Amino acid sequence: MLETLFSFALATSVLAISPGPDNIFVLMQSIVNGKKYGLATVFGLITGCLIHTTLLAFGVAAIIKQSEYLFLGIKIFGTLYLLYLAYKVFKSDSQIVFSSENIQKKTTKQLFKQGFVMNVLNPKVSIFFLAFFPGFLFSTTLNKVVQFYILGGVFMLVSLVIFSGIAILAGSIAASVKEHRNIGVYLKWVQIVVFILVAIFILI
């Protein structure tokens, strides 16, 4: 159980650190408006994960109860989707680009709401949760809904810590990225490896 949760937390942390729309958005809000604005965005994004976790927990738990073959189909879908994500990252540009254009001054309440809505209305988050979580179910006796909420809690806690760190250390992170141009290449390949390893883990 603990080994599975540790593996899940480790994979989550690597993916949270890797450059993506959410953490770049948090980073730029902190740089342009200040740390508390970046943190407000983080709290909105993380709160949105509760919605996706709830939908996943009750939806997939019902499918598992109905048919193990359907659950196997979900795991195969998850494997293929993660391999697809690895391919997408491989084909993408490794350069990390910061753009402060069109970043308007907003209140922390507005940024919390924007982060929440960005997350909840993003179908890619639901698909990612569906692909990522089922392979890390860790108990044959514990209720599946509870297990999904535990995984969701771990995911949100790890993401909260890392995203908050990005918001607080925004200036230093941006300066480091600009100074070390190759960091994007390293993060790109780490992300690819994690997607592939998780896909294999889910399948077997």
Mean pLDDT (10-residue bins), the chain, 204 residues: 92 91 90 91 96 93 85 92 94 72 80 95 92 91 94 97 94 79 85 93 84
* Domain total in the chain: 1
Q: What is the largest CA-CA distance in the chain?
A: 54
The answer to whether residue 102 is domain-embedded is: no
Q: Which domain holds residue 50?
A: 2-93+107-203
- Is 85 within the bounds of a domain? yes
Assess if residue 116 is contained within a domain: yes
Residue 69 lies in a domain: yes
Q: Using CA atoms, how far apart are residues 107 and 25, in angstroms rounded to an integer?
A: 15
pTM of the predicted model, to two decimals?
A: 0.89
Residue 74, in any domain of the structure: yes
Question: Quick one: how many helices (H) and strands (E) in the chain?
Answer: 9, 0
Kindly state whether residue 98 falls inside one of the protein's structural domains. no
Could you give phi then psi for residue 90, rounded to 5 degrees? Answer: -60, -40
User: For residue 93, how many other CB atoms are within 10 A of its CB?
Assistant: 8
Local structure of residue 55 (DSSP, 8 states): H
Q: Is residue 99 part of a domain?
A: no
Contact 95, 180 (CB under 8 A): no
Phi and psi at residue 180, to the nearest 5°: -110, 85
**What is the pLDDT at residue 78?**
93
**Residue 19 within a domain:** yes
Cβ atoms within 10 Å of 2's Cβ, excluding its own:
7
Assess contact for 202 and 129: CB atoms under 8 A.
Answer: no
pLDDT of residue 97: 64
